[in-house]
Amino acid sequence: MKTEIESIAGETPGIAYQLIVHRFSGSDDSAPRVYIQAGLHADERPGVAALHYLIPMLEQAEAEGRLLGSLTLVPHANPIGAAQHLYGEHMGRFATGTRTNFNRDFPVPDENGVRVLDRASAPVFAERRLKSRLLELADGCPIVLDLHCDDESVQYIYAPEQLWPEMSDLAACLDAEAALLWDSGSDRAFEEAVFEQMTAQAPDGDLSGHCVTTVELRGQNDVTAALGKKDAEGIYRFLQGRGVVAADGKSAPALRADFVGKPIRHIDMVRAPVGGTILFHVAPGDRVEAGQMLAEIIVNPGSKDGTVAVSAPQAGYVLTRRIRRFIRMGDNLLKIIGDAPVASRKGALED
């Protein structure tokens, strides 16, 4: 493994960010190339833990001559967001200087397939130059994993519909509970920008063997040695299945029996009808019926009518729920994968 520390200039004198890039050189030029990053939303740490365990596994494979494909790993993909704190609270999702989500507004190819990236010296904000650099590092890799997490959540992956069910091998290896399949814009998230570039570069639109995904490694607090190892082993197994690491003769795992894979238009975002203190009655992974109580929100503590009940808009599967227990009217309370599609659903699920 070779490690390079790249520098991203800040916007003001005396400020620079370090982007640590690890590279593994595989022995077989025909094996797929892989790009994996974690921490693009800098407050989402399960992916960093997974890479902490995956990197030594890949080093061992490299030392033993079992590494076929080349890999680029960026375990701290967002040093800008990692450094943002406001009154002691970490702010890792949006660039505070531009109010832009770190995982939106990536450059994508135009109708002629031409993508314009910001150069390292371009006179634009650092987060734009970072985004261009991350895309550049992923260029030419048919396998791209962007490791994220949700608030409180089961493990699920996003996948372009065009690459499903081929990408179900990843979900099976990770032991993921669910997949959301998308076929239209997500406000130019990293995954979407990579997929569009792959499509622009693919002769005849053939993307077989490709895999590009945002992996939601459960919830923000699901950061443990046990889960990090499990996720690293899952990714390693997937890489073996795709011929990046030599196979060991073990059979490929199957999807979980209770796996839920649905188009993203089935996502029912349940919002808080009032502000207050949340008492959840369901958890991620629960199956719910239409009208079932999902949560109560305490508005007037101690009063007989002091809570407002929130019920399921339709039958489905509880995918995620809010991590904090105080909520404003209109905030996202839960995400449900509904049995039926939601007519109004379009664009990215969240800001």
For the bound state, the minimum distance from the C-beta of residue 44 to Zn ion, rounded and expressed in Å, comes to: 5
Cα–Cα distance, 42 to 89 (Å, whole number)? 12
For the bound state, the minimum distance from the C-beta of residue 127 to Zn ion, rounded and expressed in Å, comes to: 15
For the bound state, the minimum distance from the C-beta of residue 298 to Zn ion, rounded and expressed in Å, comes to: 29
202 CB neighbour count, 10 Å cutoff = 13
Closer by beta carbon to Zn ion, 24 or else 190: 190
Binding mask of the shown chain, residues 32 to 51, with x at each position contacting Zn ion by CB under 5 A: ---------x--x-------
Closer by beta carbon to Zn ion, 38 or else 207: 38
Token readout for 333 is: 């309370």
Cα–Cα distance, 326 to 255 (Å, whole number)? 36
Q: Which of 148, 262, 321, 335 binds Zn ion (CB under 5 A)?
A: 148
Question: Do the beta carbons of residue 294 and residue 270 sit within 8 Å?
Answer: yes
221 CB neighbour count, 10 Å cutoff = 12
For the bound state, the minimum distance from the C-beta of residue 310 to Zn ion, rounded and expressed in Å, comes to: 24
For the bound state, the minimum distance from the C-beta of residue 72 to Zn ion, rounded and expressed in Å, comes to: 20
Question: Do the beta carbons of residue 263 and residue 161 sit within 8 Å?
Answer: yes
- DSSP class of 113: S
Backbone angles phi, psi at 46, to 5 degrees: -60, -35
Closer by beta carbon to Zn ion, 45 or else 242: 45
Cα–Cα distance, 104 to 117 (Å, whole number)? 15
Residue count, binding to Zn ion (CB under 5 A): 3
Residues between 52 and 81 with contacts to Zn ion, criterion CB under 5 A: none
Closer by beta carbon to Zn ion, 32 or else 47: 47
Closer by beta carbon to Zn ion, 42 or else 61: 42
Binding mask of the shown chain, residues 94 to 133, with x at each position contacting Zn ion by CB under 5 A: ----------------------------------------
Q: Write down the residue that tokens 């019926």 correspond to.
A: 289
For the bound state, the minimum distance from the C-beta of residue 103 to Zn ion, rounded and expressed in Å, comes to: 6
> Cis before residue 56, ω within 30 degrees of 0?
no
Q: Write down the residue that tokens 């082993």 correspond to.
A: 233
Closer by beta carbon to Zn ion, 258 or else 331: 331
**Contact footprint for Zn ion (CB under 5 A):** 41, 44, 148
